[in-house]
């Protein structure tokens, strides 16, 4: 069965610091992977996606993520966070050629000014 684990429920960083949000998945093959962001009182928005190829994918607002098959991970990174990045971030797995989509439980990011 597929699963997604975001081990950190909350992360707090200072503005200007670098960021890594962790995501581990369980899937027998190579999944499709996504990161979504949810700002307060809003729906989720797609941040970036990985289907195949270059394991480092770029997203909006300076975010990037790196796929590692050996580590079953898809960590989200940003070189320098801004207070407006404060939000909840969801890692999502999709099993290719199926309609199965699995959401992680989310990581709440707080950026201190």
Partner 1 sequence: DMKVTQMPRYLIKRMGENVLLECGQDMSHETMYWYRQDPGLGLQLIYISYDVDSNSEGDIPKGYRVSRKKREHFSLILDSAKTNQTSVYFCASAPGQNYAEQFFGPGTRLTVL
At residue 97, what are phi and psi to the nearest 5 degrees? 65, 20
Interface pick for partner 1 out of 1, 28, 29, 42 (rule CB under 8 A): 42
**Which residue in 8, 11, 22, 103 binds partner 1 (CB under 8 A)?**
103
> Which two tokens mark 79?
């070189």
Which is closer to partner 1, CB of 41 or CB of 113?
41
Give the x-and-dash track for 44-83 against partner 1 (CB under 8 A).
Answer: xxx--x----------------------------------
The DSSP result for the chain, as a single string, is --EEE---SEEEEETT--EEE--EEE-SS--EEEEEEE-TTS-EEEEEEE-SSSSEEE-GGG-EEEEETTTTEEEEEESS--GGG-EEEEEEEE-TTS--EEE---EEEEEE-
Q: What's the min distance (Å) between Cβ of 55 and partner 1? A: 18
Applying CB under 8 A, the span of 11-19, 64-72, 79-87, 104-112 interacting with partner 1 comes to: 104-112
In the complex, which residues of this chain contact partner 1 (CB under 8 A)?
9, 32, 34, 41-46, 49, 90, 92-94, 98-101, 103-106
């Amino acid at each position: 069965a597929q699963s997604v684990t975001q081990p950190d429920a909350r992360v707090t960083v200072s503005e200007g610091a670098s960021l890594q949000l962790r995501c581990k998945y369980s899937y027998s093959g190579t999944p499709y992977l996504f990161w979504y962001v949810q700002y307060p009182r809003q729906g989720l928005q797609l941040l970036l996606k990985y289907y195949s190829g270059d394991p480092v994918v770029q997203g909006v607002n300076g975010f990037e993520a790196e796929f590692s098959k050996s580590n079953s991970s898809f960590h989200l990174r940003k070189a320098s966070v801004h207070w407006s990045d404060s939000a909840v971030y969801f890692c999502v797995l999709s099993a290719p050629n199926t309609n199965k989509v699995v959401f992680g439980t989310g990581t709440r990011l707080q950026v201190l000014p």
